[in-house]
Structure 1
């Protein structure tokens, strides 16, 4: 889900360009009693010990201005904690960092089975739509496009570019937009579209990993949104409901 996507992206960003033979991102899994443990390690620069205790704080980031919002690890920590799990970090300057996710193994009626997959009704794409996906995490946009592959999906990683396209006259049946992004947030994009193209603003669905500010929470009260991480069936149903006016 979103947790592992964010951790892998962070690992990739921690590794400097060049020296490809020695650069590595490694994912290890194991059972530790009643918990499943997933570790994501990189050979990046490492995290200074004086700030390692703050990396799960909202809006704290070591990245350059405009590269990140400081919300990614805070969201990961909240998601894992809400699942009765634990997210920890080990890091050594000059050698790299390891994030460890420990989650309780699901209980089932059958020993040796970690989880039971329940059958779900297939989602039929009754109407094909032209959909714009706006998310600063490229992998998220790619995943959404794959889930909605029966539609005409366009992916952008910048809300300002999305605004420019709408102002230029490009029309979409639906806009799936991340809530928190650098440069321009989903809320700011909605506000600008309300000013220059209110019809397109009314076609927005927001994707969010957590509304951390009072403004964001109030904004989402009256607007359609889907919480990350979401599954493909839920997303496709939501899209079809909007496309068919249901």
Structure 2
């Protein structure tokens, strides 16, 4: 851990949020509740049985885009990384998406008649995006993540199931990497639809809030993808290679 980073094990947890309020949802994904008192990051993580070093790498990388500890993060177990990614998925689907839908619903209820079609277009577009996002996350949780965990477990137990070796050969993580849908692109299209193509709407305050939340979701998704693409996938490639070497089939 870099000693010059803003957040360390000795930082007060409340100070983490004071320094960067954008970390509020990140901290929540670790299952940490408020009421820190004067407890440090280390004390709060210990109370919640959280790996403090993993927590610090995550919050520091979100706080500072220039800091991305790829090698340090790859040293953590795949299961730990996946647990965090799954918690992030839950945040998107249970919190962020419904929040955005709420703004669109309010706009529909308050819009002038001349703008009804425009808001309906916006609503339809976001519904399509929501479906794509759900499909993307479900694919990861139902297919990709279990595969990764089985790789790690296989090496830990020194048992190489034939079907697992066959999957590595026929459907390695590279296949997923090539088809890794860029869900941020469609979100960018949605933002442009609002900013460039929709006529002015009556409910400007709601539209501003909606646009702000879309930007926040986009930034979060970019950080999420960065962890998957620069940490998890390279780690999986190494796991696959080790298993093939152990089986003498590389």
Q: Fold conserved (TM > 0.5)?
A: no
TM-score, normalising length: structure 1:
0.27
| Larger strand fraction of residues | 1
> Could you say which structure has the greater relative contact order, defined with CA pairs below 8 angstroms and 6 or more residues apart?
2
